[in-house]
Amino acid sequence: MSETTEKKKVILSAIQPSGTITLGNYLGALRNWVKLQDEYNCIFAVADLHAITVRQEPKTFRQNILNAYALLLACGIDTDKSPVFIQSHVPTHAELAWILNCYTQFGELSRMTQFKDKSQKHSDNVNAGLFTYPVLMAADILLYQADMVPVGADQKQHLEIARKIAERFNGIYGTTFKIPEPYIAKVGARVMSLQDPTKKMSKSDENVNSWVAVLDKPDVIMKKFKRAVTDSEAVVRVGEGKDGINNLIGIMSAVTGKTAEEIETEFEGKGYGDFKTAVGEAVIETVKPIQNRFNDLLNNKDYLVEKYRSGAEFALKISSRTLDKAMKKIGFIAR
């Protein structure tokens, strides 16, 4: 984990410790993060501060944070190449977030679609943190002078506001923050719900059969794929009006590396039952080594503690430079 590596661009990525990482999260994002480590200087975090905009049960929350950290490593993130830290262990995030709050307009935050959505979903707890969530996300990114941030469609608005805040600050005080660009993955599977394939796979879906968790047991994974929605044609091929089968072919392609054409040829003349079983088996084989590594890590708490502490030390060292620079420009007395 070196501070400078041949001027590679910096990419920052973070996941919330929700307790579950779906097959969609893995195939669409996490698997790509592993590949990015060879091309870029990557920084990875478990964004636990973001998670408390929704009430958490302390014991479960603590375990979810550790699980999320272990799962990042189990999926293939290499701590020798990339620092991996827990956000709340690096105080610069909260400090810069407060400063950036004072350079963010109320109107900008009130236009954020995620705030509107979450306010409706958690109407009994519309807290200030939920409102200023994008500013903390901006701090996460800007602290590390990130060149790029991998973003899904639902996070584009957050990156836009981070850019706007950085440009405003730079406009007042001179160049302080790098303006981050979105990173669009070259290849990223878009995994849809197994029960409603017009929607993205999401763990917030009330129907547990609609999504597969990376840590689901093999029999649970198989059961979910066998219950996957298909169509009445009973032909394994990509086509219009075949959202369910299109989704299953996409998943099969993502986990096996086979093209859609190869899959169609392989299952020519076979029914959906055979195909669903084959997809389930391929997914089980893909997540098996991740599950084994995850369990090994959880059984070695000392190793995890060593890794997240060294990750936090590295992150604090890098991020403190940016925070000190910003505070100096504003006029704070150096500590």
DSSP letter (8 states) at residue 26 = I
290 CB-near residues (< 8 Å, 6+ apart): 26, 71, 74, 75, 214
Residue 199 annotated in active site: no
- Single-letter amino acid code for the residue at 203: K
Distance CA 185, CA 293 (A): 26
Task: Please say whether the beta carbons of 83 and 1 come within 8 A.
Answer: yes
Q: Catalytic pick from 200, 242, 276, 307?
A: 200
Distance CA 93, CA 143 (A): 7
Distance CA 260, CA 257 (A): 9
Q: Catalytic pick from 35, 81, 164, 203?
A: 203
Exposed/middle/buried for 2, CB within 10 Å: 0-12, 13-18, 19+? exposed
Strands 41-46 and 84-86: parallel
Torsion angle, CA of 159/161/167/169, rounded to 10 degrees?
Answer: -120
Residue 156 annotated in active site: no
155 CB-near residues (< 8 Å, 6+ apart): none
Q: Catalytic pick from 118, 178, 224, 307?
A: 118
Helix (H) or strand (E) holding 137: helix 128-142
Task: Please say whether the beta carbons of 190 and 250 come within 8 A.
Answer: yes
Helix (H) or strand (E) holding 182: strand 181-183
Catalytically active residues are: 118, 200, 203
